[in-house]
Chains A and B, each alone.
Chain A
Amino acid sequence: MSQPLVDIRNLKIGATVYPPGENPKKIEIVHGVSFTLEKGKVLGLIGESGAGKSTIGLATLGYGRGGVELTGGEVHVNGRDILAMSDRDLRKLRGPEVTYVAQSAAASFNPAKQIMEQVTEAAIKHKLCSKSEAEARAVELFRKLGLPNPETFGSRYPHQVSGGQLQRAMTALALCPQPDLVVFDEPTTALDVTTQIDVLKAIKDAIRDTGVAALYITHDLAVVAQVSDEIMVLRHGNMVEHGTTDQIINHPREEYTQALVSVRSIEHEEKAPTPEPVLKVEQITARYKGLNFDVLKDVNVELHPGQTLAVVGESGSGKSTLARVITGLLPPREGKINFAGRSLSSDFKGRTREDLRELQMIYQMADVAMNPRQTVGTIIGRPLEFYFGLKGAEKQKRIVELLDEIEMGEKFIDRYPAELSGGQKQRVCIARALAAKPKMIICDEVTSALDPLVADGILKLLLELQKIEDVAYLFITHDLATVRAIADSIAVMYQGEVVRYGPKSQVLAPPFDDYTDLLLSSVPEMKLGWLEDVIAHRKMESAGN
């Protein structure tokens, strides 16, 4: 048998961590992972954040991010152990032999340079070909990846093209030096589902056409199932299961893999609307200062007590703007908001303390929504003091109650946000919102930054709390699986308008309008060949029209 392209044996990776209030210490984050990858094959690395998948991916480039060090084992690429290489030899490996596609192309392209210069840089600097040859290659890649005007695309600056286009350009950047291996690190995670499907197809075709081998890193099993030959499941720096894509998806052996495959097991029965909605948004039209178009156009929705209204849409659809209007951060140009039977002032400054108390908010990024220098107890205690004047033992008792409600308990009361995991941080934010005993909470993409299993836990908690506290949720998300799990009614937003609105059972049942159909059919399914089926189906439809 010929020598494999990548041969990783018992790879151990360590990192230096800086726990607050303690001395920095070294920990091991990958504990001896082994695999091989043949030329032209695609291996999917899947796991939650902290599983070590990106770290392993970067190890094939001999690169450690931040304080990460490759501490043991062997990483052979093209027969050479790269852990034993000098910096100079490593630089010769990066580009000509192995390249990297990062999660956020928007951040990974240099804003000050034209795309062409960046795409061709590695090939030119390593003297793999002349400048004109590299540019010809880039144009060919742009064309292959379905970028508009491939001849002139490269002369644009990163901010002049869309996120989906930039992600494809990043793939071109990785393929231009004609490497043997490309490491794709969550290349579609930051994209909308309708964009993701096209980028995924482009990446898959490019891998097939160029015959390059790939490590495809993601937390989304449904996505990796579409592109890889084999899948390796990682958790806490250990391999859980390694097999063919078919085996992992259809016959997972390990319990953890089974949980990943069957994630979103939440059962939620749709509740019927009540006569008195807690929130009534009427004919809201809004725009931001300095823009000459409306970001929200004639939006009408209702939310009933103790129920969940999911507002779904892609980035730029206006769903977060709707939250800003409801909270009074952005007074609308037209329309009014009725809350708990009274009319709300359009500006939060004109609202009473009672208005503010009854309408709380939970954000996507839990870590920036909390003061890093306050303890969990202080963070949760603040609304208790502010709205109810609680002090001393009374306040302490209520904080503990809330911590119990979010299934964390008293031991967390003196911890700082930095000492909590992503899921725990979000739980503290939920407790802070609940502390005000609100009638309604706006949840803005509260599970988007979390791993699927952790997100599942948060959703279950939210539903549980809804039963106990009879609080209504306005749930903003781009994730349709989440919507299916928790909504009672759904509003689909597109370019500032509500294009579909009603009870969940009605909104998610055919006949669909074009946009909802596109949105629903773009959500990756945990099934082999799904990508090809959808693309073929769409081609057929557009040919039929």
Chain B
Amino acid sequence: MHPILLLVLQRLGLGVLLLLAASALIFGLTEILPGDAAQAVLGQSATPESLANLREEMGLNRPALTRYVEWLGGIVTGDMGNALTNKLPIADQIARRMSATLFLAFWAALISVPLAILLGLIAVRYQNRWPDKAISGITLASISLPEFMISYILIFLFAVQLPWAPSFVSINDSMSLLQKLHAISLPVAVLTLVVLAHMMRMTRAAILNVMQSAYVETAELKGLSTFAVIYRHAFPNAVAPIVNVVMINMAYLVVGVVVVEVVFAYPGMGQYLVDAVVKRDVPVVLACGVIFAAVYIILNIVADVVSILANPRLRHPK
């Protein structure tokens, strides 16, 4: 078997194990929280008798392990149970919310990743000169401001002062792609600003690290222009660390956008999770937790696999 295939399969296997562990952890944590689903449904004023009855009815009296296995089986087969609050199937809700979140994350990633890498390359090209300092300064400022702050600043500028974009984001299937993009322009801008600095700085650091190599000198002594040296010779050898940071930021775009979704009242996963937590809707919290864990693990596996593929020693064994 090709060694790469073996490594990739290993990573996938590890990912599955990790996901299992994460699901157990999430389930366990909701178990040790005071109160349970029955308590949540009936509220604080419930009598012990009615609580016991409901627990019996919901199967909450059975051992935790049994319920965990049942719950896990449900998730694997796509049945996440029903929400406590509105009795609707969680899976349908999540499918809708997730596609909204992914839509937002996709466009934010599509803009921020190439932009971050390009800015990183430019920063290396003009290292310690004004373009480098300007890029570092601006991206650092944008990462230092809290997301809600950036959101409100952008809303104030581009929704209130200049009526260019909506501050209240809602999208539906009847909208054209352009209309949708117009609708999400502000949250996408906020997310881009938030994730840009991290990726750009990693690109800069990783390439600068490689710029010390003898083969970069060889390229310079071939008479290549500085930019050609950077993107043809340095960048391919700096891919692995960059991809890792890119993936962490992509995961953040899916999992960590709660604040931005709340500010723009965007109907994504973050909103959904916050609602569920407020309403103590344990099954929904569980489902969201597992899905967020899965997103993290999958994106990290992708980062691992790309790092492996970026290594010519593994790609082309002796």
A residues sitting closer than 8 Å to B (CB atoms) are 61, 63, 65, 90-96, 99-100, 102, 104, 107-113, 118, 121-122, 125-126, 156-157, 159-160, 173
User: Is there an interface contact between B237 and A110, defined as CB atoms closer than 8 Å?
Assistant: yes
Residue B218 interfacial (CB < 8 Å): yes
Which of A100, A102, A110, A113 neighbours the largest number of chain B CB atoms within 10 Å of its CB? A110
User: Is there an interface contact between B222 and A63, defined as CB atoms closer than 8 Å?
Assistant: no
Residues on B with C-beta less than 8 A from A92 are 223
In the complex, A95→B222 CA distance in Å?
5
User: Is there an interface contact between A94 and B223, defined as CB atoms closer than 8 Å?
Assistant: yes
User: Is there an interface contact between B221 and A99, defined as CB atoms closer than 8 Å?
Assistant: yes
User: Is there an interface contact between B237 and A112, defined as CB atoms closer than 8 Å?
Assistant: yes
Known: A118-B218, A157-B316. 9 other contacts (CB 8 A): A93-B223, A95-B221, A102-B217, A102-B218, A107-B215, A110-B215, A110-B236, A157-B312, A159-B312
User: Is there an interface contact between B215 and A122, defined as CB atoms closer than 8 Å?
Assistant: no
User: Is there an interface contact between B236 and A112, defined as CB atoms closer than 8 Å?
Assistant: yes
B residues sitting closer than 8 Å to A (CB atoms) are 213-215, 217-225, 228, 233, 236-237, 310, 312-313, 316, 318
User: Is there an interface contact between B214 and A102, defined as CB atoms closer than 8 Å?
Assistant: yes
| A-B contact list, 30 entries, CB within 8 Å | A63-B220, A63-B221, A91-B223, A91-B224, A93-B223, A94-B221, A94-B223, A95-B222, A95-B223, A99-B222, A100-B218, A100-B221, A102-B218, A107-B213, A108-B215, A108-B218, A109-B215, A110-B219, A110-B233, A112-B237, A112-B312, A113-B236, A121-B222, A121-B224, A122-B223, A122-B224, A125-B223, A157-B312, A159-B318, A160-B316
Who on chain B is nearest to A106 by CB? B214
User: Is there an interface contact between A111 and B215, defined as CB atoms closer than 8 Å?
Assistant: yes
Which single member of B222, B225, B233, B236 contacts A122 (CB below 8 Å)? B222
Who on chain B is nearest to A161 by CB? B318
Residues on B with C-beta less than 8 A from A126 are 223
Who on chain B is nearest to A90 by CB? B223
Who on chain A is nearest to B224 by CB? A125
User: Is there an interface contact between B312 and A61, defined as CB atoms closer than 8 Å?
Assistant: no
In the complex, A111→B218 CA distance in Å?
12
Which single member of B219, B224, B318 contacts A160 (CB below 8 Å)? B318
User: Is there an interface contact between A96 and B223, defined as CB atoms closer than 8 Å?
Assistant: yes
7 tightest A-B CB contacts, nearest first: A94-B223, A107-B214, A95-B223, A122-B222, A112-B236, A91-B223, A110-B215
Residues on B with C-beta less than 8 A from A173 are 218
In the complex, A91→B217 CA distance in Å?
13
Nearest CB of B to A115, in Å: 11
Which of B218, B225, B310, B313 neighbours the largest number of chain A CB atoms within 10 Å of its CB? B218
Residues on A with C-beta less than 8 A from B228 are 125
Who on chain B is nearest to A98 by CB? B221
Residues on B with C-beta less than 8 A from A160 are 316, 318
Residues on B with C-beta less than 8 A from A112 are 236-237, 310, 312
In the complex, A100→B218 CA distance in Å?
8
Which of B233, B312, B316 neighbours the largest number of chain A CB atoms within 10 Å of its CB? B312
Nearest CB of B to A292, in Å: 14
Residues on A with C-beta less than 8 A from B225 are 91
In the complex, A65→B213 CA distance in Å?
12
Residues on A with C-beta less than 8 A from B318 are 159-160
In the complex, A110→B225 CA distance in Å?
16
Nearest CB of A to B150, in Å: 37
User: Is there an interface contact between A94 and B222, defined as CB atoms closer than 8 Å?
Assistant: yes
In the complex, A156→B233 CA distance in Å?
17
